[in-house]
């Protein structure tokens, strides 16, 4: 199967499975060609929130898929490469815990940022 045939098969499945494909701008041209949206990580998360599809496929790294899920908790979020990580994000202290009140405040703040930016 050549690249064009593979892309066509992905586009068929995307339509059939109700999937929005997000591709970070550093992805290969063959991926960005079939993506619904291409851009930076935050921009893609906002686009996912406004997309009509019930499933989002993130072609990027793990924290990008996590951000999509934070902004679109009702959507199914898939990561094209489940082990794709970001060295900068992995430096974060994993011992940080957030209580539900703080999480709710963060969510309202994110919603406001999206509202102002979008």
Domain boundaries, the chain: 3-117
Q: What is the model's pLDDT at position 53?
A: 95
For all residues of the chain together, what is the average pLDDT?
A: 82
Q: What is the model's pLDDT at position 82?
A: 65
**How many CB atoms are closer than 10 A to CB 29?**
8
| 32 vs 55: CA distance, rounded Å | 18
Average pLDDT over residues 43-62: 90
Which of 4-8, 12-16, 67-71, 98-102 comes out lowest in average pLDDT? 98-102
CATH number of 3-117: 3.40.50.10800
pTM: 0.70
**pLDDT bucket at 92, cuts 50 / 70 / 90:** low
């Amino acid at each position: 199967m050549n690249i064009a045939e593979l892309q066509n098969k992905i586009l068929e499945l995307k339509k059939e499975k109700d999937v929005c494909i997000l591709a970070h701008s550093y992805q290969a041209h063959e991926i960005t060609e079939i993506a619904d949206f291409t851009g930076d990580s935050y921009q893609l998360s906002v686009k996912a929130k406004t997309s009509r599809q019930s499933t989002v496929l993130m072609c990027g790294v793990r924290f990008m898929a996590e951000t999509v899920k934070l902004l679109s908790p009702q959507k199914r979020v898939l990561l094209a490469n489940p082990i794709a990580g970001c060295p900068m994000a992995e430096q974060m202290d994993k011992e940080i815990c957030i209580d539900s009140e703080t999480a709710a405040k963060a969510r309202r703040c994110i919603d406001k940022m999206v509202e102002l930016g979008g």
